[in-house]
Amino acid sequence: MKATFGAGCFWHVEDLFSKTKGVNSTAVGYIGGQLPNPTYEEVCTDKTGHAEAVEVDYNPDEISFEELLKIFWENHNPTTLNRQGPDVGIQYRSAIFYHDEKQKEIAENSKQTLEKLDKYSLPIVTEIVPAPTFYKAEEYHQKYFKKHGFS
């Protein structure tokens, strides 16, 4: 099954998911914008509307979508609009791109639960939207942390 998350710069997020038991593979790329087949340079202009995202191929018999969401929520700040740390722009937005109605329901419930728990001092701005076409990023972005000895 597939799950797709935007949580800021995709390098760190991809590294987290790639080390998770039950995840078969990961890919970093661009999703949610208007330009077909965007390049990194185009996405960085903040004009294409794409988010940097990680597409996760996982085995639901080994890891649930809920468990993937837990990793997502715990490893970025879902209260900053179009920003993660020093990275600013629409491409760094917090987003869950669901692939079916079940994922949508689970994602919305998890967000509502976090809001009720008052886990964050600010409102959660994470968008939960249908997954449009995912465009795989350039090869030098794939497994970036592993390639550069950060993993």
Give the CATH number, domain containing residue 35: 3.30.1060.10
- The total of structural domains in the chain comes to 1
pLDDT at position 119, please?
Answer: 84
pLDDT at position 122, please?
Answer: 93
pLDDT above 90 (res 130)? yes
Of the residues 9, 16, 51, 90, which is catalytic? 9
pLDDT at position 104, please?
Answer: 98
pTM over cut 0.85: yes
Q: What is the largest CA-CA distance in the chain?
A: 40
Q: pLDDT-based confidence at 151, cuts 50/70/90?
A: confident
pLDDT digits 0-9 by tens, 70-119: 999 999 999 999 999 999 999 999 999 999 999 999 999 999 999 999 88
Q: Return the closest-CA partner of residue 23 out of 54, 55, 59.
A: 59
pLDDT above 80 (res 150)? yes
Catalytic residue list contains 9: yes
Structural domain harbouring 11: 2-147
Average pLDDT, the chain: 96
DSSP state of 114: H
Q: Return the closest-CA partner of residue 54 out of 66, 36, 72, 41.
A: 72
